[in-house]
Amino acid sequence: MSEKSFHSGFVAIVGRPNVGKSTLLNAILGEKIVITSDKPQTTRNRIQGIHNVPGGQIIFIDTPGIHRPKSRLNRSLNDTAIEATKGVDALLFLVEATASPSAETEVMTELLSGITTPVFLLINKVDLVEKSRLLKLMETYSTLFDFREIIPVSAQKGEGVEKMVELVCRFLPEGPQYFPDDILTDLPERFVVEELIREKLFRLTHDEIPYSVAVRVESFKERPENGIIAIAASIFVERDSQKGIIIGKRGEMLKRVGTAARKEIESFLAEKVYLELFVKVSKDWSENPKKLKEFGY
């Protein structure tokens, strides 16, 4: 990049579930805008993070992990990921250093067939393997696809992330600055609030609550007289038994979810927050096209 030119573009982060795509985006931005958990399919939407570098701006797009869909919701998530590969300037294909390359071939075929956009292979979680294994992995992957670069990183520890950003920026075309310097994401505040609540549900209920949980902010009101933002949100599940688990004995689980979510929402909004949560049953919503659309999928 020359000092006078400005390079910008859109870069999609793709791969299987749970390989660290959301953790990578948060590491790039230096701030949490995308929820993470150890459950696959935590990310359900196309999420854009805006990163500024000297002489350039990169808009990174986090996507749901590609998987074999078993429900209408899961098919919608796959469609979102595949759609995100279109019209971008580069792709980051993320794999795990701890996984066999053979586990990636199906997703590579699904996502990369016919792709002419530059594709960078990121081998994540390199802090968990020996250097000799990493070198063998890099050699094997180089035979599977014509990657522009193969870059080892640790999204969790931030290792190799800055170097990766520099390499990607070199391949971006000259272009405008799409967003102001102080903007981290184009996501509405309500969306981020919904995601933070959903993350706490995943983390605190563990395997008791499946993916058939959605969150919708019903009201978002600023109260300037006392400097508080009052938020009311509904948590939707598919069965009464799930509702009981989320509420918990004497409402303890819902209280824990609300307290944990409120703290992160306050950090994100830089304001005091009063958070009210309601749990509602919407039977089999993950198979209902009307409900999927209503919940933003």
Mean pLDDT of 228-247: 93
pLDDT at 126: 94
Alpha helices in 147-281 (DSSP H): 161-171, 189-205, 240-247, 252-269
Q: Structure pTM? A: 0.68
**Whole-angstrom distance, CA of residue 251 vs CA of residue 70:** 32
Q: Out of 70-84, 161-175, 281-295, pick the least confident.
A: 70-84
Q: Which of 29-43, 74-88, 246-260: highest mean pLDDT?
A: 246-260
Helix (H) or strand (E) holding 138: helix 131-144
pLDDT at 270: 84
pLDDT at 148: 94
Provide CB contacts within 8 A for 114, sequence distance 6+: none
Domains of the chain: 7-171 (3.40.50.300), 189-294 (3.30.300.20)
DSSP state at residue 213: -
pLDDT at 86: 76
pLDDT at 210: 58
- What's the number of CA atoms in the CB half-sphere (13 Å) around residue 275? 28
Nearest to 231 by CA among 263, 278, 274: 274
pLDDT at 90 over 90: yes
Helix (H) or strand (E) holding 80: helix 72-84
More confident residue, 18 or 169: 169
* Contact (Cβ atoms closer than 8 angstroms) between residue 12 and residue 46: no
- The region, left, alpha or beta by phi > 0 then psi within -120 to 50, assigned to residue 71 is beta
What's the pLDDT tens digit per position in 112-166?
A: 888 889 999 999 999 999 999 999 999 999 999 999 999 999 999 999 999 999 9
CB neighbour class for 53 (10 Å; exposed up to 12, middle 13-18, buried from 19): middle
* Contact (Cβ atoms closer than 8 angstroms) between residue 62 and residue 26: no
* Contact (Cβ atoms closer than 8 angstroms) between residue 292 and residue 286: yes
pLDDT at 2: 45
pLDDT at 106 over 50: yes
